[in-house]
Structure 1
Amino acid sequence: MLRTALAFLVLAIRLGAQTGSPALDQAAKSVVLVQAETAPGQFQQGSGVVLDQGFVATNAHVVKNAYRIRVLKGEHSWQAEALCLAADRDLVLLSLPGLPLPPAVPIAPGALRTGLSVQALGYPGGLGVRTEPGRITALWTFRGDRLIQTDTHNRPGSSGGGLFTEDGRLAGITTFSLFRDAGVDFAVPVDWVLALIQDRSGAPGLACPLVVVDRLLVDFGDLMQQDPGNEANWSNLTRWWVRESPDSPDAWFGRGTALDQSLRREPEDAALRESALAAYRRAVTLAPGHARAWNNLGAELDTLNRFPEAHAAFRRAVEADPGYGLAWLNLGSSLVNTRAYEEAAQALEHGLQLVGDQAIAWARLGYCELSLGRLPAAMAHYRLALRYEPFRAEWWGELYRVAIRARQPEEAERALARIRDLAPEMEQDLNP
């Protein structure tokens, strides 16, 4: 069964005290106010950090949908051009050649560590540079690099500002917070920004006056769960979340996904499985329309061979969200387990219309068609499955059996040739 993870965000930055440290006072000179005009007279604002080569780094969501962008420092302002670079990491560079402000000094490579004291500098409310002290509480893995978690309690308006060490070195760009006022804040590492500047230096670049994508924020839970290196962080975060917000369906859904991660390592742990079931049940009790929680509950029940309950859960998922392709596919796969092939085929076809690149679903649909005696359709669906995953010997075996039954000797011979290449030991077990 295919489960889904959490996608959520709260953008938050908290007002702090002015810094009295000479190193941080110097760092504050590189922190600017970013003002984005989305329509005549309508503005949104955040913060930015001055870097070398006339660039200012900020968040994509700060300048999202802006047709005019200004950078301000004190009584001075400059018109900026947004360069569309890494909106999937919520990063944008603003181009301001000749900007007369000192660039931030980046932290040394490899110096990030859990427990390091940091200061978040930004423009909450646009009222001047403010600082919020904290420390790095976790380092999450993300696309081969790190995402920084801190307890700096940031507030709206400082998004895109700088996360600095006590000696004034730039560690990252403050980006978003989870759970408002809870001290669960995130920054993207400065390494990402420096790499973007380096990539930009050798090419003229792509002007991007309308930045409209900020996938890191939208997909945070899904992205962080995909890397096994985040298991401990995700478990700790969701354990804290359900304790602090016991009436939040998203908290219980998140907790269920964390328990699912543990079950991948310990699939026979009955207590873990029951805890995951309880978490998803709590989520759907609090939010009966929570389609993803219904889907994951169905996946847990299917694993336990509690098929009628699983079918009911998957049906609740697609009732709540008819466009939820994953739940349709899971419903179809679970129906195969009870030999309800006609209904399973209908669910799988519906799901594949929504998410057509799922090889295993095409193979299961082929199995349904074979079981229903619809041999041409079965052959077509196995071919599609093998187009996505051509090295699955067992599917070539199924295609061979279908071709023999359909009296298609050339198709059968092609399948047999692939079996001999991939798994020659299978040939003796092939029975039409």
Structure 2
Amino acid sequence: MRLKRRFASTLLGSAAALAAVAQPIDRAALIEVAPSVLKIEALTPEGRFQLGSGVIVGAGQVVTNCHVTRHAARVHVVKGGVRWTATLQSADLQHDLCLLRVPQLEGEPVRIARASALRVGQSLMAMGYTGGVGMQLSEGEVVALHRYDGSEIVQSSNWFNSGASGGGLFDASGALVGILTFRLRGGAAHYFAAPADWLLARLPIERDFVSVAPLQGKTFWEESADAQPFFLQAATLEQNEQWQALAQLAERWSREAQDDPEAAYLLGLAYDGLKRHNASIAALQRCLEIDSNYVRAWARLATVYKRQGQQQDMRRALTRLASLDPKQANELSIELERQ
């Protein structure tokens, strides 16, 4: 009991020292950016409506998801009952980002920040027109960051549903870090946002804009299972507890991207599911050699150490986790004590 108290005290000290990890949302900053999140109405040639959301990112320019507008012959953006028509579009369908040219649009562009600067556990706010009615706010935090095509796909616990696609994911200071894009069914924290900094890397020039018209093709997350990015294939296998298949995928991923800590982490997760605990520890340690701040690896390592009866190693892993994500460390320590 004395040891538990001492460990709990260590966790509390780490949490107090690093409370900035869970920096509270600046409500004033979010009030300022909220008017820059708009409703999107996409009208197909057959007269059907697709509803979504968008964010003002430049003078007369609104970003949304291509899967919201790809069947449209006309697109309107709506703010406070006022409707503007998008005259041109520049589509990056593979990344599911469409930039709309909207003349005379009223509103301030938001500030864009890089998703790679985020940390697991960091507070986020999602804004979008869930259900296509009024704007909804959803507070959550970063669950994981997935390397993909020069940036990081943001996985968060910010709930959103139909109508919010194309809306904004903002950090605590009100900077746009992601575009709400898709979710996986069956998971409480399986909400994914395309990194907003993809816009910075691919800002279209004048000749890239064309008239609004239906688009052909698929986004990266709509591809067949074997053509999707590794992190999406892995999410489905993990959700279904297909540990052997996950191990095979992670082994292949590790060979193809030896500097990606997520591949080693998932290998450790799969080995843990297969009850190959020593192999799991080795894979997780490899992950931490690549990225010593990889939160999910520290959490899983503490869990595996607990199963192996390595109490001192478990406490060390939890203490390190507390320095990175105090909230998760506290929740995990309580859970492990109950086991």
- What is the count of residue pairs matched by the alignment? 234
User: Are the counterparts in 2 of residues 153 and 181 from structure 1 also a CA contact under 8 Å?
Assistant: no
Distance 1:93 1:116, change over 3 A: same
Distance 1:88 1:28, change over 3 A: same
Partner SS, residue 126 of structure 2 = strand
Match of 2:213 in 1: 209
Match of 2:138 in 1: 132
Bigger radius of gyration among the two: 1
Partner SS, residue 36 of structure 1 = strand
Match of 1:241 in 2: 239
Amino acid at match of 1:160: G
Query: Residues 133-181 of structure 1: CA distance to partner in whole angstroms, max 9, x if unpaired?
Result: 1111111111222111111121111000000012211111000000156
Distance in 2 between the 1:107 and 1:55 partners?
Answer: 17
Query: Residues 45-78 of structure 1: CA distance to partner in whole angstroms, max 9, x if unpaired?
Result: 1000011132100001101211111100111000
TM-score normalized by the length of structure 2 = 0.62
Distance in 1 between the 2:165 and 2:96 partners?
Answer: 10
Residue among 36, 49, 56 paired with 2:62:
56
Distance in 1 between the 2:57 and 2:219 partners?
Answer: 24
Match of 1:146 in 2: 152
Where do 1:17-416 residues align within 5 Å? 21-107=27-113, 110-179=116-185, 182-197=188-203, 199-201=204-206, 203=207, 205-219=209-223, 221=225, 222-225=227-230, 230=231, 237-238=235-236, 240-242=238-240, 252=242, 255-264=243-252
Q: Percent identity?
A: 32
Amino acid at match of 2:240: V
**Structure with higher RCO (Cα < 8 A, 6+ apart):** 2
TM-score normalized by the length of structure 1 = 0.49
Partner SS, residue 259 of structure 1 = helix
Partner SS, residue 163 of structure 2 = coil
Give how far 1:34 is off.
0.2
Distance 1:208 1:76, change over 3 A: closer
Distance 1:188 1:259, change over 3 A: same
Match of 2:13 in 1: none
Distance in 1 between the 2:51 and 2:74 partners?
Answer: 12
- What stretches of structure 2 of length at least 5 have no aligned partner? 1-24, 256-266, 275-339
Partner SS, residue 113 of structure 1 = coil
Q: CA RMSD in A?
A: 2.9
Distance in 1 between the 2:85 and 2:51 partners?
Answer: 14
Distance in 2 between the 1:212 and 1:69 partners?
Answer: 17
User: Are the counterparts in 1 of residues 114 and 196 from structure 2 also a CA contact under 8 Å?
Assistant: no
- What stretches of structure 1 of length at least 5 have no aligned partner? 1-18, 244-251, 276-432
Amino acid at match of 1:55: Q
User: Are the counterparts in 2 of residues 162 and 170 from structure 1 also a CA contact under 8 Å?
Assistant: yes
Amino acid at match of 2:205: R
